[in-house]
Structure 1
Amino acid sequence: MKKVAVLLAPGFEEAEAIITIDILRRLQIDVETLACADSRAVVSYHNIPMVADSTLSERMATRYDAVVLPGGPQGSQNLAASREVIRFVAAHDESGKLICPICSAAARVLGGNGLLKGRRYVCSGDLWQSVDDGQYVDAPVVGDKNLISGKGLGHAFDFALTLAARLLGDETPVRDHADHIYYPW
């Protein structure tokens, strides 16, 4: 069974996290939420308290098939500032595991720490303008090698379904809400 880590830092965008968790679990993909904080209790961007399954510190040595990084202005800043998060993501990336940021996380966490490595990505708003590391693509979901990025909350379902398809081995092209066809990887 495939296993996914969803990193929850204080201020995370709750809908991006919950939609992704929900879709993956419905498809029988094992999801573990990891609090990027001192305790399992984390408060979201809209002040909704959540209790994660574990803390990132407790799972640093665990390897997952994918690592999901929800956005949110505060959440992505907190992820980007955490050395532990950067080490965790970099170790998974070096192992060829899927790295999956959504919204601001691609620009702030990966782009801000040299982890895009020239790959194509998408992020929310104009945050891409401050990133020198990757190649911005204006699309709902962008895949490049082991990187799957989502534009933001409005595309969270596309993002989650693309990730699920990749984990389950489905190479079928994806149609977005405007009926455009693209291959997410």
Structure 2
Amino acid sequence: MTFKAEADSGVADRDEWSYAPAVGVGPLRFGMTIDEVVETSQVLGQTEVSDCPHVHAIFSPTWKIEVHRRGVASSLPAVTAYVSQAAGLFCIASDAIHGPQVGHDGIPLVGRDLSELESDEIAHAEAVDGHFRYTPEGYAGPDDPGVVIRGQCVGQVLRSRPLFMVTRDGANTEWDSMPSEEYHHGQS
């Protein structure tokens, strides 16, 4: 299996973060409070905290923490973390351009052309006699309920913007827990 180098996809100087299902991504751990997320995110850059609209009555108040990389001129956040009053940190999104690279079973998930990611997931599943999954939107990703692959428009190409999640506030699945801000993120 071959993977496109970051330089080939127009992305350079990316941090690499590890993912542990139901535990966290990089230095961020599921269940953290807003203050813990802000303090921990200082390693990457500057943070902005804002309230999320209360769209669904089932969910407790939720906050969005955008982490902007130091030294990057763009206003796009590298990482967006979502913290629920009841569950703490439950969702971490890595931006397709500026976010840290996170892999699953050796497959890079961030900033990939979605058709190439799908091909790599299929090849990996065949090689290990395993599985992969599609989101309701049709994006291929690892067979891990804690990883939801989303699309983010980068120029004319739709690139991968993975969400790493745990369920929140009585939701049945990670898909049900997805913050409303992520439904149309990066879509044109």
* TM-score (normalizing by structure 1): 0.27
Q: Which structure is higher in helix share?
A: 1
Q: Which structure is higher in strand share?
A: 2
> Max radius of gyration: which structure?
2
